[in-house]
Structure 1
Amino acid sequence: MAYYRSRSGIGVAGLIYILIGIFVAWDRGYLNADLLRRIASALAAIFLWFLVLLGADLHITA
Structure 2
Amino acid sequence: MAEPTYTPPAEEDAPRAFGWCHWHQGHSEGIRLIDVIEQGSGSGGTTFACGPCITTNGLTPFADR
Length-normalised TM-score, structure 1 = 0.30
Larger radius of gyration between Structure 1 and Structure 2? 1
Length-normalised TM-score, structure 2 = 0.29
